[in-house]
Chain A
């Protein structure tokens, strides 16, 4: 069975600082995709970043980057230069034949 675990229910960071959100997963598949989604209070799920399992290079999107450790089945999200607009729920998800979501991490950003 596929599982996604986010062990940090809440995290906080000061504006302009860096924060890392943790995610581990389990799958027996060798070919899969990993995603981080952001859900602000407006409820709209927004894709932050994606990683293909066959790619060794860590994905980056502007201030967002991942640390993908395939052997350890770890997929953490690093947010650099945090902004107030980054405050949201962040969901890690695994896609083999369907999307499975972790329980989410609520990120607070303090000025």
Chain B
């Protein structure tokens, strides 16, 4: 299974600033996903990031607020822009392992607190 790392593991940010979260995979993968997990809540898909194309955003999430880059098959970034306290969440990236259809492996998450 793929091994996924995320940076930073946690951060505390001021309102109005932006934070970029990095997701690194130890193997080449086609599909990468970004999720948000608000405090005490379940996971919600933000967007799907495929290399070489624009990310596909789910309802309620927009590119201006959550720009995503996918420069190659092992790396992606998610930026949380113009942050407000409501953006305080855990952000997780995941990948779909090509050998295991429909099976996703998750990174350790980034805990973001916005003051």
Contact = CB atoms under 8 A, between A and B. Distances in A.
Interface in A86-109: 91, 95, 98-104
Interface residues on B, range: 20 to 34
Contacts of A91: 42-43
A39 to B, nearest CB: 9
A43 B90 contact: yes
A64 interface: no
B108 interface: yes
A42 B103 contact: no
Interface stretch (A11-19, A44-52, A75-83): A44-52
Contacts of A42: 108
B48 interface: yes
A50 B48 CA distance: 21
Max chain A Cβ within 10 angstroms of own Cβ: one of B43, B108, B111: B43
Contacts of B43: 45, 91, 99, 101
Interface of B: 33, 41-45, 48, 58, 90, 92, 94, 101-106, 108-109, 111
